[in-house]
């Protein structure tokens, strides 16, 4: 024996997860590790190694003294993954932004095609909060929620997962950039000024106009960012990590 299992254990664990019954309290609980080890004919440490992977991906949640439970997938894994990818230089911040913009365009389109009145009202409210914000952070938070709300309007968990994962990684970078933008005279006004067009396009249920408004939104914002970047003291904030060796 003592040969690598080729992740047969991993596959079996997936089956166990899929076959797991719902608890009396509505929780989907897995058998104890010691039981799983016996059932799969493997050592407990081996089971634990596989479970650790599933936990880091967000598929299960383990609580000492309680048990192992199947969990809703969360955007954390996308964050962790891209966070490492960015830091390792395999992808640049700029490339992540481009991917995010592509998704946002489509989100705007879908959101416009089946928005409820409540959705429109909430977007309008968030815009008001944004405009009347007294601190920079307050305005940025409303801006973030504005885009998040748009994603939720697609009613598609996959889209929400992806956009939240991308946004969370970019949030740090975007935050610093936006703070700089807003410090420029009339910076906040110009960036905020692109939001009403988005809201109106969605209120009119006009997908094409929504995409166009989103395009304009990013265009203005990047214009501001690049004008900021040309100044000396903030150039470093826009740097992207160097790419690593060979990439296929």
Partner DNA sequence: GGAAATCAATTGGTCGCACCAATATTATAC
Partner DNA sequence: GTATAATATTGGTGCGACCAATTGATTTCC
Least distance from DNA to the Cβ atom of residue 161, Å: 24
| 135 contributes a contact to DNA by CB under 7 A | no
Which 44-83 positions form the footprint of DNA (CB under 7 A)? 44-46, 48-49, 51, 62-68
Measured from the CB atom, the residue of 28 and 193 that comes closer to a second copy is 28
Cβ–Cβ < 8 Å for 243, 89: yes
Q: Three-class SS of residue 62?
A: strand
Measured from the CB atom, the residue of 2 and 242 that comes closer to DNA is 2
Least distance from a second copy to the Cβ atom of residue 64, Å: 7
Which of a second copy, DNA, none does 72 bind, CB closer than 5 to 8 A by kind? a second copy
Cβ–Cβ < 8 Å for 233, 143: no
Of 29-37, 95-103, 122-130, 148-156, the window that binds DNA (rule: CB under 7 A) is 29-37
- 247's tokens: 């990439």
C-alpha span between 163 and 180 (Å, rounded): 24
Cβ–Cβ < 8 Å for 193, 186: no
Residues that bind a second copy (CB under 8 A): 4, 10, 14, 17-18, 22, 26, 28, 45, 48-50, 52-53, 55-59, 64, 70, 72-73, 77, 80-82, 84-85, 87-88, 90-91, 95-96, 98-99, 102-103, 105-107, 110, 156-159, 161-162, 166, 244-248
Q: How many CB atoms lie within 10 A of CB 122?
A: 18
């Amino acid at each position: 024996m003592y040969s690598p299992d080729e992740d047969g254990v991993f596959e079996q664990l997936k089956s166990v997860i899929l076959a797991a019954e719902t608890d009396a309290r509505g929780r989907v609980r897995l058998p104890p590790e010691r039981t799983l080890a016996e059932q799969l004919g493997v050592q407990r440490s081996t089971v634990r190694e596989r479970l650790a992977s599933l936990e880091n991906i967000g598929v299960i949640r383990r609580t000492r003294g309680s048990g192992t439970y199947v969990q809703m997938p969360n955007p954390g894994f996308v964050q962790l993954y891209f966070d490492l990818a960015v830091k390792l230089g395999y992808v640049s911040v700029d490339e992540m932004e481009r991917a995010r913009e592509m998704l946002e365009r489509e989100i705007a389109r879908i959101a416009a095609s089946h928005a409820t009145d409540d959705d429109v009202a909430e977007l309008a409210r968030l815009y008001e909060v944004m405009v009347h914000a007294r601190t920079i952070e307050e305005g940025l938070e409303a801006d973030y929620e504005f885009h998040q709300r748009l994603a939720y309007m697609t009613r598609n968990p996959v889209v929400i997962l992806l956009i939240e994962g991308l946004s969370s990684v970019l949030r740090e970078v975007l935050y610093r950039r936006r703070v700089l933008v807003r410090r420029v005279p009339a910076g906040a006004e110009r960036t905020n000024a692109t939001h009403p067009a988005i809201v109106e396009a969605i209120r009119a249920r006009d997908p094409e106009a929504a995409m166009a408004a989103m395009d304009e939104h990013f265009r203005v914002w990047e214009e501001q960012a690049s004008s900021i970047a040309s100044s000396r003291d903030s150039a470093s904030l826009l740097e992207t990590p160097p790419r690593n060796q060979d990439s296929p």
